[in-house]
């Protein structure tokens, strides 16, 4: 495992096409272990495409085509025969809209471990509890683990989604605008848990606005129309951006 401060994942010359359309243009950047990387920019800029490239979810879209390469711990994840299913366990993903699978809260969180073949009830219980505690929702749901996940509020469902990913004990967590559908209190709770999580995980998040990006980022990458415009530490990008377009965007002049 990469040490704190080491490079966890490396994106190299990645372009993504959906049919004729170019969604991401020749992007290269490092993802540093135990940090939060925020990828931000206006809608359609390529943030989601980048996240989906990191755990090969684009494979499921028949129209998508990816060129370039991504390395996880120095190993190319696009090399032939690379274990994709394994990759998705190591690089977990939380989507923009909260999705509770139509099963109990417990089963939602235990879904991933069970896929990996964990049957032992005691072990599953431990994993579920740990994941829910880390996602800061254990106290809210511990008495109704067997009720349907569909009965939770939007904010709870999103933290359930995070817990579900945590239960897989991934190395990297991708979050695609995880708070876009949530109220400010739920958002604050999730940001709070992200700051906790980075001690153990590497996090890549596309925040739903600039303020959030600035609040939680260790490093930030600004995307505009498929192009990586600016990449640097939080202070570099948000206080003294090198590119005029970045400055315009974070000061709210467009987007």
Partner 1 sequence: MIAIGRKRSEAIAKALLWGAALLTLAVLIFILIYILQRGLPVLSPGFLLDSPEQMGREGGIFPTIVGTVFLTAVAIAIATPLGIGTAVFLTEYTREGRATRLIRFGTESLSGVPSIIFGLFGFAFFVIFLGLGWSILSGGLTLAAMVLPTIIRTAEEAIRAVPPSYRQVSFALGASRWQTVTRVVLPSALPGIITGVILAIGRSVGETAAVILTAGSSLRVPTSLFSPARTMSVHFYILAREGISLEMAYGTGALLIISVLLVNLAANWLMNRLVLRAEQ
Partner 2 sequence: MNKKLRVSQTEVAERAITRGLALIAFSSLSVLALITVFILREGLPVMLNLGIGEFLTGGRWAPSANAFGIMPMILGSVYVTLGALVLGVPLGLSCAVFLVELAPRSVAAALRPAIQLLAGIPSVIYGFWGLTTLVPFIRNTLGGPGLSILAGAIILGIMILPTVIAISEDALRALPRSYKEASFSLGASHWQTIWRVLLPAARSGIVAAVVLGMGRAVGETMAVIMVLGNAVQIPDSILDPARTLTTNIGIEMAYASGDHRAALFATGIVLFLIIMILTGTANLITSRR
Binding flag, residue 62, partner 1 (CB under 8 A): yes
Which one of partner 1, partner 2, none is in contact with 102 (Cβ closer than 5 to 8 A by kind)?
partner 1
Binding flag, residue 57, partner 1 (CB under 8 A): yes
Rank residues 84 and 150 by Cβ distance to partner 2 and give the closer one: 84
Binding flag, residue 18, partner 1 (CB under 8 A): no
Out of 41, 45, 46, 92, which residue is the one contacting partner 1 (CB under 8 A)?
Answer: 92
Rank residues 59 and 140 by Cβ distance to partner 2 and give the closer one: 59
Binding flag, residue 115, partner 1 (CB under 8 A): yes
| Piece of 29-37, 132-140, 161-169, 234-242 that binds partner 1 (CB under 8 A) | 161-169
Which one of partner 2, partner 1, none is in contact with 55 (Cβ closer than 5 to 8 A by kind)?
partner 1
What does the chain look like in DSSP terms, one character per residue? -PPTTSEEEEEEEEEEEETTEEEEEEEEEEEETTSEEEEE-STTSSHHHHHHHHTTGGGG-TTEEEEEEEEETTEETTSTT--HHHHHHHEEEE-SS----SSBHHHHHHHHHHHTT---HHHHHHHHHHHHHHTT-HHHHGGGTTSBGGGS-HHHHHHHHHHHHHTT--SEEEEESTTTTS-HHHHHHHHHHHHHHTTTSEEEEE-SSHHHHHHH-SEEEEEETTEEEEEEEHHHHHHS-SSHHHHHHHTTS--
3-state secondary structure of 205: strand
Which one of partner 2, partner 1, none is in contact with 81 (Cβ closer than 5 to 8 A by kind)?
partner 2
CB of 77 to partner 2, least distance (A): 13
Out of 13, 19, 42, 86, which residue is the one contacting partner 1 (CB under 8 A)?
Answer: 86
Residues that bind partner 1 in the complex, under the rule CB under 8 A: 55, 57, 60, 62, 85-86, 88-89, 92-93, 95, 97, 99, 101-103, 111-112, 115-116, 150, 161, 164-165, 168
């Amino acid at each position: 495992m990469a040490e704190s401060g080491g490079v966890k994942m490396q994106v190299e010359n990645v372009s993504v096409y959906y049919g004729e359309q170019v969604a991401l243009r020749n992007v290269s950047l490092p993802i540093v272990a135990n940090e939060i990387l925020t990828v931000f920019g206006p809608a359609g800029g390529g943030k989601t495409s980048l996240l989906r490239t990191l755990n090969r979810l684009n494979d499921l879209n028949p129209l998508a085509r990816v060129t370039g390469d991504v390395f996880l711990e120095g190993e190319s994840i696009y090399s032939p025969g690379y274990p994709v299913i394994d990759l998705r366990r190591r690089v977990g993903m939380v989507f923009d809209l909260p999705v509770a699978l139509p099963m109990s809260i417990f089963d939602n969180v235990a879904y991933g471990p069970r896929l990996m073949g964990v049957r032992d009830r005691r072990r599953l219980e431990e994993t579920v509890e740990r994941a829910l505690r880390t996602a800061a929702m254990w106290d809210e749901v511990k008495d109704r683990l067997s009720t349907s996940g569909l009965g939770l509020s939007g904010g709870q469902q999103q933290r359930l989604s995070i817990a579900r990913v945590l239960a897989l004990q991934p190395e990297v967590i991708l979050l695609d605008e995880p708070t876009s559908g949530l109220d400010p209190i739920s958002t604050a709770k999730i940001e709070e848990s992200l700051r906790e999580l980075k001690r153990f995980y590497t996090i890549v998040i596309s925040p739903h606005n600039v303020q959030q990006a600035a609040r939680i980022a260790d490093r930030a990458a600004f995307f505009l129309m498929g192009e990586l415009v600016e990449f640097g530490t939080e202070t570099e990008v948000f206080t003294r951006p090198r590119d005029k377009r970045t400055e315009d965007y974070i000061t709210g002049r467009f987007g």
